[in-house]
Chains A and B, each alone.
Chain A
Amino acid sequence: MNRRGFLASVSVVTLAAGLGLAGGYSARASEPEAVFALGSAEIGAPHHDPIRATLLSTVATLIYDRLIEQDVDQSYHPHLAESWENSPDGMNWTFKLRQGVRFHDGEPFNAATIAWWIPKFKGSPNEYLVDAVDRVELVDDYTVRFIMKRAEPNLIYNLASSFMGIPSPKAYDAAGDNFGVTEAVGTGPYKLESFAVGQETVLVANEDYSWGSDLSDNKGAPHIKRLTLREIPDASTAFLELKTGGVGLLLGVPDQFLPQLQAEETLDFRSLPGFGITYLAFNTRAEPFGDAAVRQATALAVDQGAILKSVFNGVGLEAHQFLISTLVESKIDPKLEIHHDLAKANELLDKAGWQRGDDGIRVKDGKPLKIKLTAQSETAIKRTAEIVQAQLKAIGMVVEIDIFDSTTVVDQLKKGQHQLAVRQYGWNNADILDWFFSTTNIPYPNSSGWQDEKSQELRNVAMQQSKTLDERVANFRKYQENLIGNFLFVPIHEPVQNYAFNKTLLEVPEKLRGTQLVQATTVDIKVVG
């Protein structure tokens, strides 16, 4: 062998050793098992402790049960609470608890559990969920009464939150800070087997489970006996995992993947109504948006239909008010909803003294109608900003787009450095209006800077003086009608939640239950074959 031949051989061997390609990486066990990939918003949950968590994933809804479940139409259903009653003055809530429920560690679930659980929220990030509860009284072993500091009809919504999953008191106190990391004990349909932060959680079926909520067809132990929930941050990788069968179900699929999903014979998807809104946020402290006429003209110049078609491929709904459409509070007077009306938008600006120059740009007192539009560096948001830029040009407004990462955008909003911003929120409760528009939340999250006595009065009534759910709905409708009448935002789009699955691996019910694909549907999913 000559010098060149020798060197070439050594290099080829080195390359082969480096590559080391070999087959075979998985073996399917005989018992029904499945792998789900968590949605991007759920990735990075550092633990599964519902009391002290600020981020929880679907995992928590599988390990822990809640007193109350919320369905896709936002209605409330019994679970560990068989029934409940709110006194007419709203100052007492009485819950009848389900009997025969046991935690994964064998401990019984009863009224004493609730009396231990509610005070645990004191000092936690989730304290606000039970802040209105003064104390818990034990009526009998399976009946508890919450004595309230103030009437809070929204308590029922809070109790249906995933942060209100009930842990085992014994395991919780014994594990301390490790609860939710090394062990997580609830009464739910799955038990924690292992958890690797940022990687995966492995769950095994709770074979003693027989207290499923009425949202599930299957009230007993789940069909999938071993469930792995993986964290795959890149949507393309997750999609390829689904395609190859490495993952059976994706708990969140970007709209742009839907055409590819539909083209694949082995794949299918289910959808649930959206959980939030994309909108434009005005800064009323920054000119020209201190003027209600300019805000109204801007709102009317935005064509929601065009954005839905060009940015979101027609997936989801046009938004014409601030709340998600499944909330009853969203059903405001249709005349107040914000719809595209270019002629009226131009008319409003003409009346407000903004005259068009030769170049089509409007001018008032020598100042051109030129604004900055702040947006975060996410594809759909950036594209929305670009379409809005083009649409506002039609009313003679020049828009410059500033792109930042999400935390910097929040910083800009907090400092009031923005004029107009493309924003998104994800929340299925009308109290989001308080979050973004109450004077108590200036400068952030109320970055609109809106301060108005009438608005705040309506906010106070809705938030603090509603005694029943019906009253609360009526009060929030009035509050939103006031806000929308002042043109503090431009609603744009209400996305849907998409869940994709591999048909060769899983059978997913046609109709999903719950506000998201969580416990109620998961226990009904079957493994094919």
Chain B
Amino acid sequence: MIGFTLRRLVLLLPVFLVVSLVVFFIIHLVPGDPIDNLLRAGSTPEQRLQIAAKYGLDRSLIEQYVTWMGRLLTGDLGTSIIQGRPVSALIARNLPYSLELGVAALLFSTLTGIAAGVIAASYQGTRVDDTITGFILLGSTVPSFWLGLMLILVFAVWLGWVPVSGARGWSSLILPVIAAGLGGIALVARVTRIAMIETSRQDFVMLLHAKGLPPFIIQLRHVLRHAMVPVVTILSLRIGWVLGGAVTIEYVFARPGLGSLLIRALNQRDYPLVQGCLLMLAMAVIIGALIGDIVQAAMDPRQREARA
């Protein structure tokens, strides 16, 4: 297991290099220029040149990449062109909000999704299953932007239970977590339901029934455990989403976060900030996948051997 983990960690190095290349060059391929977003009526052409020189934008892309990578290796993500603050400080300021919302939404969607999937599988073919499946379908199709506004209208405006927006206190987290988590519930519930149904049909489950074990024990102790393998895969891929996937939710609920930071930086072509955010999100996805692999390998030795 240790060897497997080490091998996976070593593989991260070339992946990081490729990611850094893609992250750097992709934003420079998009039309636009951050300096246009800095200048106001009255600014002189000389000021444009000064800004370009200050941030190294007058140099070739290769030179800019080498400089960026050099700084990156020392832990310096550069300075935001538009905001004039270190990128790492801006990320650090927004990260806690993203983690708070992302982790809460992931927990909410995972627990609720697994519960809904288990119930649907247990009541397969009944009205309960149909109702849950219906909700799953609805959850995967309702736009989170619209859902957020509807939740605000019902729970904040009509009922007055929670604040409309903001990031002050736990009560302001409730609606964003529900809005961000609903899509995840649908996904986790669907995967859990299918995995539970498929596992229930396997020979070892028939054997357990034949041995006279109570169905409730079989479902929870044996079927659910096996059904969790695809669920873990899905969850590991959602770790990147935890950090940057709630852009629309952050927008609707006026919450700070990495998603909003990235979108604003993209709109302003703030290269260092976009690069810093994208790199951070890409690494989160990669590390998420790594954790998923390790957990899967721990749960299923066959996979560990297959990937060795």
A interface with B by C-beta (< 8 Å): 2-4, 6-8, 10-11, 14-15, 17-26, 44, 46-47, 52, 54, 125, 127-129, 131, 181, 196-200, 230-234, 236-238, 240-241, 243-244, 246, 405-408, 410-412, 414, 425, 427, 429, 431-432, 435, 440-441, 444-445
Contact = CB atoms under 8 A, between A and B. Distances in A.
Nearest to A129: B42
Interface in B26-49: 30-33, 36-38, 40-45, 47
Given A2-B216, A125-B47, A230-B166, A7 B118 contact: yes
B152 A128 contact: no
A181 B32 CA distance: 29
B41 A432 contact: yes
Which A-B residue pairs are the 7 nearest by beta carbons? A3-B216, A11-B115, A407-B32, A46-B83, A411-B31, A232-B254, A18-B108
Nearest to B160: A244
Contact of B267 (A26, A230, A237, A405): A405
Contacts of A435: 41-42
Given A244-B156, A414-B33, A127 B47 contact: yes
A329 B219 CA distance: 80
17 contacts: A10-B115, A11-B118, A22-B161, A24-B171, A52-B84, A54-B82, A125-B47, A128-B43, A128-B47, A233-B251, A236-B252, A237-B149, A237-B164, A241-B165, A407-B36, A410-B36, A411-B32
Given A18-B108, A128-B44, A233-B254, A407 B166 contact: no
A19 B108 CA distance: 8
Contacts of B111: 14, 17-18
Given A10-B115, A240-B152, A407-B31, 16 more contacts: A3-B215, A4-B123, A7-B118, A11-B112, A11-B116, A18-B112, A196-B256, A197-B256, A199-B166, A231-B254, A240-B156, A240-B157, A240-B164, A411-B32, A429-B41, A440-B45
Contacts of B123: 4
Interface in B113-162: 115-116, 118-119, 122-123, 149, 152-153, 155-157, 160-162
A128 B149 contact: no
B264 interface: yes
Interface residues of B, number: 70
Contact of A19 (B171, B178, B268): B178
Contacts of A2: 216
A20 B104 CA distance: 12
Interface string B223-236: 00000000000000
B230 to A, nearest CB: 20
B42 A128 contact: yes
Contact of B112 (A14, A21, A411): A14
B245 to A, nearest CB: 17
A407 B267 contact: yes
B260 interface: yes
Contact of B122 (A7, A22, A200, A237): A7
Contacts, number: 168
B267 A7 contact: no
Interface of B: 30-33, 36-38, 40-45, 47, 51, 80, 82-85, 90, 93-94, 107-108, 111-112, 115-116, 118-119, 122-123, 149, 152-153, 155-157, 160-167, 169, 171-172, 174, 177-178, 181, 214-216, 219, 251-256, 260-261, 264, 267-269
Contacts of B36: 407, 410-411, 414, 444
Given A14-B111, A46-B83, A230-B254, A20 B174 contact: yes
Given A25-B171, A240-B156, A407-B33, A198 B251 contact: no
Contacts of B42: 128-129, 431, 435
Contact of A244 (B90, B107, B157, B256): B157
B5 to A, nearest CB: 31
Contacts of A127: 47
A430 B171 CA distance: 49
Nearest to B165: A237
B222 to A, nearest CB: 13
B108 A44 contact: no
Nearest to A131: B44
Contacts of A236: 149, 252
B174 A244 contact: no
Nearest to B80: A46
Nearest to B94: A198
Contacts of A21: 155, 161-162, 174
A243 B165 CA distance: 13
B252 A237 contact: yes
A127 B38 CA distance: 13
A283 to B, nearest CB: 16
A3 B122 contact: yes
A125 B152 contact: no
Contacts of A181: 85
Which of B118, B160, B166 is most buried by chain A, counting CB atoms within 10 A of its CB? B166
A412 to B, nearest CB: 7
A226 B105 CA distance: 34
A455 to B, nearest CB: 18
Contacts of A196: 93, 256
> Which interface residue of B36, B161, B253 has the most chain A CB atoms within 10 A?
B36
Given A236-B149, A240-B164, A46 B85 contact: yes
Nearest to A3: B216
Contacts of B256: 196-199
Contacts of B115: 7, 10-11, 14-15
Residue of B165, B251, B255 with most partner-chain A CB within 10 A: B165
A281 to B, nearest CB: 15
Contacts of B164: 237, 240-241, 244, 246
A54 B268 CA distance: 13
Contacts of B51: 125
B154 to A, nearest CB: 11
Contact of B216 (A6, A199, A246): A6
A234 B45 contact: no
A11 B252 contact: no
A407 B268 contact: yes
Contacts of B268: 407
Nearest to B81: A54
Contacts of A230: 166, 254
B15 to A, nearest CB: 30
Given A14-B115, A244-B157, A432-B41, A408 B31 contact: yes
Contacts of B253: 237
Contacts of A234: 251-252, 254
Contacts of B116: 11
Residue from A47, A241, A431, A432 with most neighbouring chain B CB atoms (10 Å): A241
